[in-house]
Amino acid sequence: MTQLSPAQAGGIGITALGLYVPERVVTNAHFESYLDTTAEWIETRTGMRERRYAAEDEYSSHLGVKAVQDLLARDPDGLKDVDLILCATGTPDAMFPSTAALIGEQVGLRGVAAADISVACSGFVYGLAMAKGQIAAGIARRVLVIGTEVLTKKVDQQERNNAILFADGAGAAVVGPVPAGYGLGEFVMGADGTGGASLFMPGAAPQLPDGTPVGDYAGMNGREVFKFAVRIIPESGQQVLAKSGMTIDDISWIIPHQANVRIIEAAAERFGVSTEKFVVNLDRYGNTSAATVPLAIVDAVRDGRIQDGQNLLLVAFGGGLSWAACTLRWWAGAPSLRSEPNA
């Protein structure tokens, strides 16, 4: 009789978690000193009160390493059998070597396959999908998925609309075999390059294919991104629920990309649920792009909101314009996946 692998016999889900946010806390009052804005206006418009800034000599690989170290501090065996690293980042240390490889070398995974994912804020959920596929296909045993960003180094700090939003941080998760009935469910992912000019990060070309100049800093058309986000969050969320044979009533927690509280409020209205069903921590961390979803998961696990057996809906949107959503039944059987008494 054919012997089933653990991934085939059970589920594929998150088996370890870690996070890191830089030490420097930047409150809304910081921007009052040099931008035409007020702390009250920022909080009212975005829901943000403070965010974290990386030190001058801290980059995405440094934040990613510290997130993995946090994971290992809670679960020393958390990286066992990891044979692939996927790093979601829009602010890589370099185009190559990959930030994933730089992190792997520093956390004891030298020689492990490593690659970066560049879809901005959707990157971590894309990474979970890729990890599940690699494990299900028998190509990988366990996959380390990281979302890490130092957006403050690539945003024009003199441009009010962007400077107040973006921040730095990192989250890390190991994806591997979990017991039957738990783990990652269905995925919905997509991208629309016609919206690329609404949210971009400069690269090698001086302009996008449509002629949009990219300049030296990240660019965003807030109005267009807002319209896209309030449509795509409920749309992709409902699609993945239907694909999973579930309804919004089956979901304990919705974990969205943390871009703006007004986007989350609009999405909640379209879902027909209270915002209390959403995990929101942008008030403390701001928009950390690919790191927002893992940071929100870790926060909600450690403070006891996410419990064993609960169904989660993860949904994100970002540059591309891109989007990704998935369902996940939480397994709390490993040390870093349970709440902390003093969280």
* Residues assigned a catalytic role: 121, 257, 287
Q: Is the peptide bond preceding residue 22 cis, with omega within 30 degrees of 0?
A: no
CB contact set of 222 (below 8 Å; sequence gap of 6+): 161
Angular region, 49: left φ>0, alpha ψ -120 to 50, beta rest: alpha
For residue 23, with 0-12 CB atoms within 10 Å meaning exposed, 13-18 middle and 19 or more buried, which class applies?
Answer: exposed
DSSP state string for 87-105: EE-SS-S-SSS-HHHHHHH
DSSP category for residue 255: E
Place of tokens 């065996």: 77
> For residue 21, which of 236, 337, 292, 207 has the smallest C-alpha distance?
292
Q: Report d(CA 76, CA 68) in Å as an integer.
A: 11
Q: Report d(CA 39, CA 51) in Å as an integer.
A: 13
- Strand 142-150 vs strand 82-88: parallel, antiparallel, or unpaired? parallel
> For residue 60, which of 3, 20, 5, 12 has the smallest C-alpha distance?
20
Q: Where are the beta strands (DSSP E) in 8-158?
A: 11-20, 24-27, 50-53, 82-88, 113-117, 142-150
Q: Please say whether the beta carbons of 20 and 67 come within 8 A.
A: yes
Q: Where are the beta strands (DSSP E) in 127-257?
A: 142-150, 168-178, 183-191, 199-200, 219-220, 253-256
> For residue 328, which of 302, 307, 304 has the smallest C-alpha distance?
307
